[in-house]
A and B are shown apart, each in its own frame.
Chain A
């Protein structure tokens, strides 16, 4: 048996997810592999429909019953993929937790927030009602909700979006999970609140030694909050590596395009945002070769024949592209050192 200190907390190997959509089966995720040690943070970045959320939901075992999951997901060496739902229920909220995108709808309007935060404690840790309530107040205090002892009996509609997101964070952290999955936790919030919530999550992750998978479409959020990052496109990982390294030497034309497409401070008035031409491929009808081939400025015939292999371009930095010699020579999107 491997040493628990060095053994990865979660190990995803060759994960594939096939969803049954109204337009036929769609390969939402394919060939995703990564490992995360205790205390490590990983960012998943990509545009809508690239498979980020499906990857997260498959780690949680929350995909629809019709979804077909292949490959393996191991938590502390224990296989999670295709685990029966009853067993998964004991892990969810206890060892793996999730924060959702939309705090306005992620809380049940019919229950008080105290009840909702105390719920996982009562179920997983078998706390008494009074114990769970005390702990819920302490948690609400920790996530920065003002006057938690009084507001613990308030209903979700009596809070603002940022406050509700704090409540969902308290809910997710109640049982001190080993792994926290944050699926676009700040997308629905005001920009001023975004920073506060991300700081709070970062503090809590560090304080409790949790691992975190942060999902976002915002490169800025990823750059500031995670140690390692993976860029997803069309259901596959196209680039993966330490965050600093990826931002310094972006290897995949898609990552470079994504970086160029973000708005810049101090740009001249009337400057158009750069875009990546074309649209995301249909997951139900993916091309045979590189999923980005149709939109890639560097595409050659060879790109369209088979899915490119992962190419090593630096320490722990891999790119799924056969044209890294060109893309990285141009050194597009490099940050000033």
Chain B
């Protein structure tokens, strides 16, 4: 596997028919993009599969067959309630993806907009946005989630919103910082000299130039969202039983760590695969979207 990965000429068969100049031609030659894409697809496929089929109903409790080792009936065994691990993992991918995507979308849409506005307007607008973001940043995420849960009741939606809000200031700061660096560049002055207003410069010059940073950060934020969801589920504020979630599986397994350590390994590995896949995918996307890094073969 690793020997194959390290030889650049050993491209998959399909890529031989795609010219290297096209986006997909380059994408399929990019190793971390391909690997990251495959892992991410695996997670998405599991989530989709769980909608139509799981080996056992994921919420079915069968105390009689609890904590079984892997067998033909239960491929990865059962947990302390006798639920089938494979079914739980497949169904858990759904909430993981849902929480990750929605929370990161909330964070990105608000954070990037606020950051871009702060950077384009400067002065008081920037000052207000950044102080507000500092304020949110200083507030512990778990505390805001507890407050939100107290008002709206605990559940997946509450945890998604809490995680999303928690992501906004990080992305605002990152966007503002990188956008300010672009605004100071000479090509922005040249763009202004050719008659572009602040909005067009933001859309055409600033955003494309910070996109790679944002994409990589978004994959990291996605990983953080998955972990935050696990933490909130542990506190009973996230996904509610019987709805399965990798985070809750991990936290359920924590009490049985000495009796049945593999129970923690499966959801842990699932989270690791999802996070790794997204990071590699983001890494690959950053390279592919930057014309300067496009390799010409």
Within 8 A of B (CB), among A183-198: none
Residue ID in chain A nearest B291 by CB atoms: A155
Complex contacts, B292 vs chain A, CB 8 Å? 109, 155, 157
Are the C-beta atoms of B194 and A172 separated by less than 8 Å? yes
Within 8 A of B (CB), among A84-128: 85-86, 89-94, 97-98, 100-102, 105-111, 119-120, 123-124
Secondary structure of the B contact surface, majority rule: helix
Looking at the complex, which one of A65, A85, A93, A157 makes contact with B194 (CB distance below 8 Å)? A93
Q: Given A109-B209, A110-B209, A157-B291, check contact A98 B190 (CB 8 Å).
A: yes
The reply on A168 being an interface residue by CB < 8 A is yes
Looking at the complex, which one of A105, A106, A120, A155 makes contact with B195 (CB distance below 8 Å)? A120
Complex contacts, A100 vs chain B, CB 8 Å? 186, 189-190, 193
The reply on A171 being an interface residue by CB < 8 A is yes
Looking at the complex, which one of B122, B191, B193 makes contact with A108 (CB distance below 8 Å)? B191
The reply on A306 being an interface residue by CB < 8 A is no
**Alpha-carbon distance between A334 and B185 when the two chains are bound, in angstroms:** 41
Cβ contacts B169-187/A at 8 Å (1 or 0 each): 0000000000000000111
Are the C-beta atoms of A106 and B194 separated by less than 8 Å? no
Are the C-beta atoms of B195 and A90 separated by less than 8 Å? yes
B115 to chain A, nearest CB (A): 18
Are the C-beta atoms of A86 and B193 separated by less than 8 Å? no
Looking at the complex, which one of A65, A105, A111, A120 makes contact with B208 (CB distance below 8 Å)? A111
B257 to chain A, nearest CB (A): 49
Complex contacts, B204 vs chain A, CB 8 Å? 108, 111
Complex contacts, A91 vs chain B, CB 8 Å? 195
The reply on A62 being an interface residue by CB < 8 A is yes
Q: Given A100-B189, A157-B292, check contact A108 B209 (CB 8 Å).
A: yes
A232 to chain B, nearest CB (A): 21
The reply on B140 being an interface residue by CB < 8 A is no
Q: Given A155-B292, A157-B291, check contact A105 B186 (CB 8 Å).
A: yes
Are the C-beta atoms of B196 and A89 separated by less than 8 Å? yes
A57 to chain B, nearest CB (A): 9
Cβ contacts A31-63/B at 8 Å (1 or 0 each): 000000000000000000000000000001010
Complex contacts, B185 vs chain A, CB 8 Å? 105
The reply on B192 being an interface residue by CB < 8 A is yes
Complex contacts, A85 vs chain B, CB 8 Å? 197
A103 to chain B, nearest CB (A): 9
Identify the interface centre among B123, B185, B193, B205: most chain A CB within 10 Å of its CB. Answer: B193
B285 to chain A, nearest CB (A): 14
Looking at the complex, which one of B122, B189, B197 makes contact with A62 (CB distance below 8 Å)? B189
**Alpha-carbon distance between A168 and B291 when the two chains are bound, in angstroms:** 19
Are the C-beta atoms of B194 and A92 separated by less than 8 Å? yes
Complex contacts, B209 vs chain A, CB 8 Å? 108-110
Q: Can you show 27 pairs from A to B with CB atoms below 8 A apart?
A: A60-B192, A60-B193, A62-B189, A62-B192, A62-B193, A85-B197, A86-B197, A90-B195, A92-B194, A92-B195, A93-B196, A97-B193, A97-B194, A100-B189, A101-B186, A105-B186, A106-B190, A108-B204, A108-B208, A110-B205, A111-B204, A120-B195, A123-B195, A155-B291, A168-B190, A171-B190, A171-B194
Closest 6 CB pairs of A and B: A93-B194, A93-B195, A92-B195, A105-B186, A98-B193, A110-B208
